[in-house]
Amino acid sequence: MRLLIADDENLTREGLLQSIDWPSLGISEILQADDGQNGLALARKSLPDIVLTDVRMPRMSGIEMSERIQQLNPDCPIIFMSGYSDKEYLKAAIKLRAVRYVEKPIDTEELIEAIQEAVRSVSEKQRQNQTYELFQKEAASQLALWLTRPDFTFSSPKPLLNYHALSIGSSTCFSTLILKFHRQLSDFAETDLSFILQQLDALVKKRGFRQVHTLKNEAFLIMHIYGSERISSYVIACLCKDIHRFFTHISKNNMENTVHSDTLYLQPPYIVAGKTVTGPEKVSLSYRSAVILLQNAFFYPNGSILIQDQEEDAKAAPNTDTILEQFPSCLLSKDAKSAYMLAQQLYKSLLYQRNMLPTQAKDIYYKLLMHINTTIYQLKLSVIPGQLVQDSPMGLVTRCSSLDALSKLLTDKLGEFEELLSHAPSENSTVFLIRDYIEKRFGDNNLSIKEISEHVHLSCSYICTMFKTETGQTLNQYITEYRIEKAKMLLADPRNKITEISSRVGYTDGNYFSKSFKKAVGLSPSEYRERELS
């Protein structure tokens, strides 16, 4: 705690400093002043927790100085020292709720008791203030959560908050902001999260508004911005940019090692602003519009700002059929460069998309990842046993929370594919033609070795021997395993019926398909689907 000693006698001040073990009493810093005016100036610069002052001093008395200090800090205990038994001074001390009135010459024991009493008073008040602040924060968080509910009214059960103190009334204007972070808020140190919330509150106040907030589902901060005047789209846009700059500044400082806390490193979150409404009963409408907008954030780059009241030309849902058709051919022909170009083309076509659901985009990327796995298997490029099972495309895609994450996942997998290609021996051109033909005709139940041999203009016995020599497996084994891999892709989509899948991968008998699938995978088609979708 910080103590101010004000006395015009230097000997008195020095004697107090030397005769008392201040740290043992909880006093960590001592300010000294030789009169009331200097004491007040010091108090304004470094607000003391306790004041120990002489009553009579030149230029300004200890009584007047203490009155002004208590205007700055009403909870500051005062201990008066005086050699004059003047009733007027005693009355003033009582009026100021002084802890003690100690007569000079100072009795050290008596003064220590007075200091201890003052320290206890300050500590108790600090505990009370902390408890009250925690209560207010919790109540405000509950209110912010209640405001998101469509059934909220002033008369409904609500947190014990003084709406008048919060300046909330029936004509108050609101706009809900949702910040979606790329990491769980529970990962932040408590001090860092408190710092972030304080800075956000300061940015809101700087724009002339107030806010109540709550945390939700570990990654979302919901802020209800409110004020007596209507909140324009321009002001909301400016506030969102302020918030984005704040998080960018944190990340930049961390990269430059000027932020000491590791937990403060984070990417700027998605910032979504709902429409402006009037009255607390309508805040749920602003919140819901922000939630709907947040779904579109999936298709926006990390750290984007989306505002409900800003009009944007919606892009038509892209036709990705061509990409899905060309991608497998590029992989099978080992043309990684063209595959990269198709991946980039897909990303650009889906960016800023508002006419597609995230699940639809994930389905497209899942199919492309399965094509990579299938081609790795076809070309016998994978040298790590069980790699395809361990790195399940469905699991990888499900964990992606944005288009950027999907794009990075696909790019990384293409990089792995290209790395495997660089270490693989060159493939026989006839084997390539055979694989390519099977890729295009695997769904035909009449596909046969004779048909393949006619396609490559070689005898059946020759291509069987040559294919086994080059790949280590028979043609029939390869066709069966290729069909099973394609069936896996189709099973991952619950819209595809198992009976239809068997015919789509070249089986006329559903029971035979199930037996072949279980023999190859160790699970029946339905068991495999259940595992993939769980």
More confident residue, 271 or 534: 271
At 82 the pLDDT is: 82
- Is the pLDDT at 159 greater than 80, yes or no? no
* Cβ contact 103:85 at 8 Å: yes
The mean pLDDT value of the chain amounts to 85
Cα 216 to Cα 74: distance, rounded to the nearest angstrom:
37
pLDDT band (50, 70, 90) for residue 431: confident
Query: How many CA atoms are closer than 13 Å to the CA of 102, on its beta-carbon side?
Result: 22
User: pLDDT-based confidence at 386, cuts 50/70/90?
Assistant: very low
Average pLDDT value for residue range 119-140 = 81
DSSP 159: -
| Residue 333 pLDDT grade (very low, low, confident, very high; cuts 50, 70, 90) | confident
The Cα 329–Cα 320 span in angstroms is: 15
Task: Give per-residue pLDDT as tens, 88-121.
Answer: 666 666 666 677 778 888 889 999 999 999 999 9
Q: How confident is the model at residue 391 (pLDDT cuts 50, 70, 90)?
A: low
Read off the pLDDT of each residue in 498-522 and give the average, rounded to a whole number.
Answer: 90
- 385 pLDDT tier (thresholds 50, 70, 90): very low
CA distances (Å), origin 293, targets 238, 313, 399, 464:
18, 14, 20, 57
| Pairing, β 270-273 against β 78-82 | unpaired
Q: pLDDT-based confidence at 387, cuts 50/70/90? A: very low
138 or 257: which carries more pLDDT confidence? 138
Q: For residue 67, which of 58, 80, 82 has the smallest C-alpha distance?
A: 80
pTM value > 0.85: no
Please report, rounded to a whole number, the percentage of residues in the chain having pLDDT higher than 70. 87
Whole-number Å distance between alpha carbons of 195 and 267: 16
Helix pair angle (510-521, 525-533), 10° resolution: 60
Over range 305-312, report the average pLDDT: 71
Report the alpha-carbon distance of residue 426 to residue 437 in Å, rounded. 19
Token pair in block for residue 36 = 């009331």
Cα 147 to chain centroid, rounded: 22
CA–CA separation, 487 vs 385, rounded Å? 21
> What pLDDT is stored for residue 489 in this prediction?
84
- 328 within 8 A of 372, measured Cβ to Cβ: no
For residues 229-235, average pLDDT: 89
Nearest to 175 by CA among 256, 60, 62, 289: 289
Amino acid at 140: A
Sign (positive or negative) of CA dihedral 153, 159, 163, 166: negative
What is the DSSP track for 336-368?
A: HHHHHHHHHHHHHHHTT--SS-HHHHHHHHHHH
